[in-house]
Amino acid sequence: MLPRYCAPVPAQGTTTILAYTLRRTLILIVSLFMAAVVLFVLLRLLPGDPANALLGVGATTQQIEAARAQVGSDQPLAVQFVSFIGNLARLDLGTSFVSRASVLGEIGNRMSVTLPLAFLGFLLAIVFAVPLGIVAAVRGDRWYGAAISVISQLGIAIPVFWVGILLVTLFAINLRWLPSGGFPLRGWSNLSEAATGMILPALTIGLVMGASLLRYVRAATLDVLGSDYLRTARALGASFPEALFKHGLRNGAVPVVSILGIELATTFLGAVVIERVFSLPGLGSMLLLAIQQRDYPNVQGVLFVSTLLVLLIGFAADLAQRLIDPRLRGRSGAEA
């Protein structure tokens, strides 16, 4: 029986997690600042002036100067940078040069399409990858285990947009079960039509991302199958399914969780591409239109929000790893 002085250990673990969370939050803030600096510099290196988005072909010198003053491109870069960072700190992403609408408000409207698409595709990828990855590892000596591995390898090699085209050809053109693309003008208020329009895009992302995730689940399961603790559990009388699910899942989940963060970020970026294939009014179409129109505030806003989401996903994945694996909680700050 454990002595009484062992009782404070959970509190130490909680304190360690809290310290790691604070340290990781600081890293997140610094990374976001560096991303903002890179974004600002790269956009200013592009040829041309942002004021051109407000001007016609035959603009006079006075009109050009007025447009530059309106968008702030006549100011020194240092002044523009301070203004840019100050606006970000106030969550002010500016106003579109073309539509004169709030960039943050427009991004919020577009995110109502992109975020559900990304998360639905991600959930489908998990549904496909986790059970099939375990089967491919446990039954790798059977024909269906080998077939799952081969199909997943093919899925990784196929571009996501090509999978989307194949699904449209099969389910929209040949079978006529689902729409080939588009989204209702009333958005999610027309729930049935909006949900139907999300099926093929989400399935496209789920299949491609699921094929990649399946490989990691299979590798993690193979590591568990060869572990000493699994053999010990079997030697103590546990059945193979009991030993695998009771002792193997948590240990196998540790490396997979970090991959899940990467895959979720990739899913979000892949959703931007899929939106073009299925004509969805999400962040992807907003970004491409802004680039075509040289609408700098919209370009900056979409790229900054996308970067923020990717960093937040990595932050959440790191914290989840700490919560799942007790061995990581005792590491020093230098090891973390």
What is the widest separation between alpha-carbon atoms in the chain? Answer: 88
Distance CA 120, CA 315 (A): 21
Multiple choice CATH, 14-47+93-329, 3.30.470.10, 1.10.3720.10, 1.20.1090.10, 3.30.420.40: 1.10.3720.10
Q: What is the pLDDT of residue 3?
A: 44
In residues, how long is the chain? 336
Distance CA 127, CA 146 (A): 19
pLDDT tens-place string over residues 31-60:
999 988 998 888 877 776 677 766 666 677
DSSP state of 175: S
Instruction: With CA atoms as reference, report the closest residue to 32 among 305, 321, 322.
Output: 305
| DSSP string over 284-303 | HHHHHHHHHHT-HHHHHHHH
Quick check: pTM over 0.75?
A: yes
* Alpha helices for the chain (secondary structure H): 9-45, 61-71, 77-89, 103-138, 143-157, 160-167, 191-225, 228-235, 240-243, 249-277, 283-293, 296-324, 326-329
Distance CA 146, CA 156 (A): 16
pLDDT tens-place string over residues 64-113:
778 777 777 778 888 888 888 888 888 888 888 878 888 888 998 888 89
Task: Indicate the angle between helix axes 143-157 and 103-138, nearest 10 degrees.
Answer: 150
pLDDT tens-place string over residues 176-215:
898 888 888 777 888 888 889 889 999 998 898 888 889 8
Is residue 166 over pLDDT 60?
yes
Q: What is the pLDDT of residue 327?
A: 64
Q: Give residues with Cβ within 8 angstroms of 291, minimum separation 6.
A: 299
Q: Give residues with Cβ within 8 angstroms of 74, minimum separation 6.
A: 65, 68
Amino acid in position 137:
A
Phi-psi region of 79 (alpha: psi -120 to 50; beta: other; left: phi over 0): alpha
Task: Tally Cβ neighbours within 10 Å of residue 110.
Answer: 21
pLDDT tens-place string over residues 213-264:
898 888 888 888 777 777 777 787 777 777 777 767 767 777 777 788 777 8
pLDDT tens-place string over residues 122-165:
899 999 998 998 888 888 888 888 899 888 888 888 888 888 88
> b/e map of 279-295 (b: 16 or more CB within 10 Å)?
ebbbbbbbbeebeebbb
Q: How far is CA 207 from CA 47, 124, 270, 300, in A?
A: 39, 8, 12, 31
Three-state SS for 95? strand
Distance CA 69, CA 88 (A): 20
Q: What is the band of 30 on the pLDDT scale with cuts at 50, 70, 90?
A: very high
Are the C-beta atoms of 299 and 290 separated by less than 8 Å? yes
Three-state SS for 102? strand
Amino acid in position 232:
T
| DSSP string over 221-277 | HHHHHT-HHHHHHHHTT--HHHHIIIIIHHHHHHHHHHHHHHHHHHHHHHHHHHHHH
